[in-house]
């Protein structure tokens, strides 16, 4: 279990740090030119590709078995870390009330983002199925 949790934390840290940098580029440079929805549609596949690579690498690095319970635990833990950190940053760094954070998920761009985050949570299991 310890390997699975360490793998989840590492997976989260890799993807979150790269996605945060992509999010800055999306927000400052892409979204003003294309709109929020198109910008998120451009960013999401890149983040999911990074997630695929990171999930596979961290699972191998920490010897997480390719069995569903372990990989789902890894993904659920990483997803939970993502949501906690994202919400905390929204509250503390961007001074966005919790209600506003949840309302953002109801927008088209927010819904695409949440769907991508759910896929991020399942990616350790999906990466175990690679050919």
Compute the distance between CA of residue 55 and CA of residue 128 in angstroms, rounded to an integer: 9
* Number of domains present in the structure of the chain: 1
Other C-beta atoms lying within 10 Å of the C-beta of residue 95: 8
- pLDDT for res 123: 97
- pLDDT for res 131: 40
Domain interval for residue 61: 2-128
- pLDDT for res 130: 63
CB proximity list for 72: less than 8 A, separation 6 or greater: 122, 124, 125
- pLDDT for res 128: 85
Q: Each residue's pLDDT tens digit in the chain (131 positions)?
A: 899 999 999 999 999 999 999 999 999 999 999 999 999 999 999 999 999 999 999 999 999 999 999 999 999 999 999 999 999 999 998 889 999 989 999 999 999 999 999 999 999 999 987 64
The secondary structure of the chain, three-state, reads CHHHHHHHHHHHHHHHHHHHHHHHHHHHHHHHHHCHHHHHHHHHHHHHHHHHHHHHHHHHHCCCCCCHHHHHHHHHHHHHHHHHHHHHHHHHCCCCCHHHHHHHCCCHHHHHHHHHHHHHHHHHHHHHCCC
């Amino acid at each position: 279990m310890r390997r699975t949790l360490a793998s989840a934390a590492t997976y989260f840290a890799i993807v979150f740090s790269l996605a945060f940098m992509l999010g800055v580029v999306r927000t400052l440079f892409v979204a003003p030119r294309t709109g929020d929805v198109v910008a998120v549609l451009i960013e999401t596949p890149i983040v999911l590709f990074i997630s695929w690579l990171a999930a596979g690498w961290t699972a191998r690095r920490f010897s997480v078995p390719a069995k569903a319970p372990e990989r789902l635990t890894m993904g659920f833990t990483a997803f939970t870390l993502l949501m906690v950190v994202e919400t905390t940053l929204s509250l503390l760094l961007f001074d966005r009330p919790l209600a506003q954070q949840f309302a953002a998920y109801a927008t088209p761009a927010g819904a695409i983002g949440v769907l991508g985050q759910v896929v991020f949570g399942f990616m350790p299991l999906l990466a175990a199925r690679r050919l």
